Amino acid sequence: MSETFSLRRWLTTTNHKDVGILYLVTSFYFMFFAGFLAMNFRVQLFSPNQSLFTASAYNQVVTTHGLMMILWVLSPMGFAFANYIVPIQIGAKDMAFPRLNALSYWFYLFSGLLLVSSFFLPGGGADVGWTAYAPLSTTKYTPQVGMTVAAMALIMLVASITVSTVNFITTIARERARGMTWSKMPLFTWGILYTVIMMLFAFPPLGAGLLILLSDRILGTMFFTSNAGGALLWENFFWFFGHPEVYILLAPALGILFEIIPAFSRRPIYGRKFILGAFALASIISFLVWGHHMFATTETALVKKIFSATSVAISLPFEIVTIYLIATLLRGSIRLSTPMLFGLGAIYMFIIGGITGVFNASIALDYQFRGSYWVVGHFHFVMGGTVIFALLGALYYWFPKMTGRMYNEKLGKIHFFISAIGFTMIYFPMFFLFDMPRRIFTYPATAGWDFMNHIATIGGFIFGSIQLLLLANILLSLRRGPPAGFNPWGGWTLEWLIPSPPPAQDFEVSPKIEREEIVFPKGGSTEWEDVEESYTPWPLTITIGTTLGLLGVAMFLPLAILGLAVVLASLVGWFRDDFRGKFAAKAEGMGMWPFEKISHEKLGMWVFITAEMMLFSMVVSGYIYVRSNSAVWPSPLLVTNILAHLQGGIINVPGVGEIAIHNIVLGTVNTLVLVTSSLTMALALNAIKNGNVRGLKIWLLATLALGVTFMVIKGYEWAGLYSEGFTITSGLPAASYYLTVGLHGAHVIAGLIAIAFLITKAYKNGFTKESYTGIENTGLYWHMVDVIWLFLFPLFYLL
């Protein structure tokens, strides 16, 4: 099964290195696709009044280019290296959840394919810019189904990223080799850790925004078309995600620089602790600066000033990082090999990008910059320049490790110099184009922007075409490159202590750290697991089912039912693997401080719960936002004699008019039902902890029954509301109620499915006093669903 070209291997693998390679190849493919789009519109912009594209085609191309590069290229390429390298660097055998890792990959690939396919649908793809500003992105102004499919592709990507987040945090927290303390962890791994922590908080908000957008597009709600929500609601959602996102792209790149720069200057990194501290500070501040993308809106001056100050301040930690990277070079013995050249190039780009970022952060200057080519120049220097150059450096740096062969140094150097020149030629001229609006498909000859655009387009072709040299170098070296040996660069981290390419299991014996040295204990048991056991088709089939489901919801409902069936069948397969004990061998890692006392699954579940808490917080924030901007909002607090109206209904409030309030009695009953189901779930866990299987079955069944009761009451309630005309399209109060409570209901259903699996397993005696992780984790999830309801109940029924 481990032959290089076995299709079955690549479709069913869960090995972190295979998944890493899959990520790498896929992100490269998407990079060439999105890059090709970019070269096309550079032709269009070469001179005024060109007609290669119509405005609509241009907008689609620009949108797909932006979305693809940011979300399907830069981040996943960082994660290609993370998948391959991080488990090795920390001395783990694999990721904490290998199957989930494969699932992340397949979700990533298929979401990308969905995005590409949206392009070819009737009416075309998304043409609203990567920021998808509402209300332009709503059906009223962008009716084509391609936009819906693109939003679904994004949701699928959010799911992929959430799963990876859980996986990476658990892996890094718990799987490190014995003795590898936080302070000894390699810096690339640190970079990835920062990345996933930021992802954990940034992606659920995007998910929430997209859910609301899709609800507007598919269910006909009016969050983004009404003035109570509207443009500003979307912008707040989007940039609360969007700003951290740009640092999410940056963090793996900096992690790479922290490896490459010291390795090639032959000196330890300068000020490791300060760099890590600065990086942590920047990660935290990154959640406090989103307003700098909204300086031109109608936010109050005070808000703008605060965001301006935090944004300027964020340049301090980045400056420290930059200066310390340069300080690392001093008194070194610098090898200017290709990875190092790309590393230095990335720093050069980061200096320019960072300084122009400070320009943007000035509220006054941004009055002109916002929406102009200046911003395009800025973010390409940081994202295209810094991040891509660092990633290319990483590719050259780890190529020998991944393939066992050296690349051609001369071609690499040519690639670097021409790329650096080409890149600067594209984007530096844009700093002189701060009058030119971005995303225009053509410009008048009188504007005087021709010259700078000529240079940019020429640069674009230089940069674009030289990437073919990279491709040639890779293909050539894969065949003919001289053998690389274990450690061509003299690196100190674990990946350089094992063969290139590493064997399937990475280490014969788990390494450990003794004082300042990494050692492989001698004579330790060499337990090679059965490699055959680590292949599984379910991650792929779940993904296919999900893709069909999403396409179905967007275009053709029966397809969605097929998709759902595929997902459920695959889940059954997945759990049967579990039951057979497949993958069980991977279950327990070292458990490093401070996570030695908590199991894998439990830690993973807590991380996941955090993501869910963020998701619901954002949806609820959206609710509070539209509510506070609405002139009238039905509330029991407005009703003078509430006792008479505990059953809810349409009530005439003097001075306000007719309002609909919810049935407080039913809401209370349902709260009690859910709370009780939490009790029974807790008792189920307690029973099995004491070895009481009968008790376990009874309490699980009780939980299932209560959960079903909750949903039935909900259904009854909704039927009543609908018959009274309180439909999802009847206004924002109804829309926010159905969306939030419905999302919660979906979680209840997911929980019920999990509980049904548990019951089956319990009846097959699958749980014992010693092994009850499934119960414990489903319990954690179930209680979380309860906790969410504890807030939704007062927010929607009482206040």
In sequence order, the 6+-apart residues with CB closer than 8 A to the CB of 384 are 69, 349, 423, 427
**123-152 residues near other proteins, rule: CB under 8 A:** 127-129, 133, 135-136, 141
Contact flags string 164-193 toward other proteins, x per CB under 8 A? --------------------x---------
Nearer Cβ to other proteins, position 330 or 475? Answer: 330
Number of residues that bind ligand HEM (CB under 6 A): 24
Site for other proteins contains 733 (CB under 8 A): no
Site for ligand HEM contains 31 (CB under 6 A): no
Residue 175 tokens read as: 């799987």
Q: Is 300 exposed, middle or buried (0-12, 13-18, 19+ CB in 10 A)?
A: exposed
Residues across the chain: 799
Characterize the bridge pairing of strands 512-514 and 649-653.
unpaired
Q: How far apart are CA 217 and CA 159, in angstroms?
A: 20
Token look-up 């003078």 returns 640
Q: How far is the CB of 298 from other proteins (least distance, A)?
A: 4
Nearer Cβ to Cu ion, position 243 or 415? Answer: 243
Contact flags string 458-487 toward other proteins, x per CB under 8 A? -----------------------------x
**613-642 residues near other proteins, rule: CB under 8 A:** 613, 617, 620-621, 624-625, 627-633, 635-638, 642
Q: Is the peptide bond before 594 cis (omega within 30 degrees of 0)?
A: yes
| Contact partner, 338, from other proteins, Cu ion, ligand HEM, none, Cβ < 5-8 Å per class | none
Q: How far is the CB of 422 from other proteins (least distance, A)?
A: 18
Residue 441 tokens read as: 């498909």
Site for Cu ion contains 439 (CB under 5 A): no
| Contact partner, 711, from other proteins, ligand HEM, Cu ion, none, Cβ < 5-8 Å per class | none
Token look-up 């539209």 returns 626
Identify which range of 24-32, 311-319, 327-335, 488-496 contacts ligand HEM by CB under 6 A.
311-319
Binder among 107, 307, 389, 496 for other proteins (CB under 8 A): 496
Site for other proteins contains 401 (CB under 8 A): no
Q: How far is the CB of 197 from ligand HEM (least distance, A)?
A: 17
Residue 587 tokens read as: 């279950």
Binder among 112, 339, 343, 357 for ligand HEM (CB under 6 A): 357
Q: What own/partner pairs with CB < 8 Å and gap ≥ 24 does 450-458 have?
A: 450/47, 450/48, 453/45, 453/46, 453/47, 453/429, 454/46, 454/47, 455/425, 455/429, 456/42, 456/45, 456/425, 456/426, 456/427, 456/429, 456/430, 457/42, 457/43, 457/45, 457/46, 458/425
Site for other proteins contains 93 (CB under 8 A): no
Q: Identify the DSSP state of 483.
A: B
Identify which range of 35-43, 92-100, 258-266, 712-720 contacts other proteins by CB under 8 A.
258-266
Contact 696, 680 (CB under 8 A): no
Site for other proteins contains 644 (CB under 8 A): no
Contact 489, 264 (CB under 8 A): yes
Nearer Cβ to Cu ion, position 242 or 343? Answer: 242
Site for ligand HEM contains 126 (CB under 6 A): no
Q: Is the dihedral of CA 618, 621, 627, 630 positive or negative?
A: negative
Identify which range of 371-379, 403-411, 458-466, 778-786 contacts ligand HEM by CB under 6 A.
371-379
Site for other proteins contains 55 (CB under 8 A): yes
Nearer Cβ to ligand HEM, position 65 or 627? Answer: 65
Task: From residue 782, give the alpha-carbon distance in Å to each of 169, 227, 751, 768, 775.
Answer: 22, 37, 6, 21, 10
Characterize the bridge pairing of strands 517-519 and 649-653.
unpaired
**216-245 residues near Cu ion, rule: CB under 5 A:** 243
Contact 662, 713 (CB under 8 A): no
Nearer Cβ to other proteins, position 361 or 548? Answer: 361
Contact flags string 198-237 toward other proteins, x per CB under 8 A? -----------------------------x--xxx-----
Site for ligand HEM contains 314 (CB under 6 A): yes
Site for other proteins contains 705 (CB under 8 A): no
Phi and psi at 178, nearest 5°, equal -55, 130
Residues that bind ligand HEM (CB under 6 A): 131, 246, 249-250, 292-293, 311, 314-315, 318, 354, 357-358, 360-361, 366, 369-370, 375, 378-379, 382-383, 387
Residues that bind Cu ion (CB under 5 A): 243
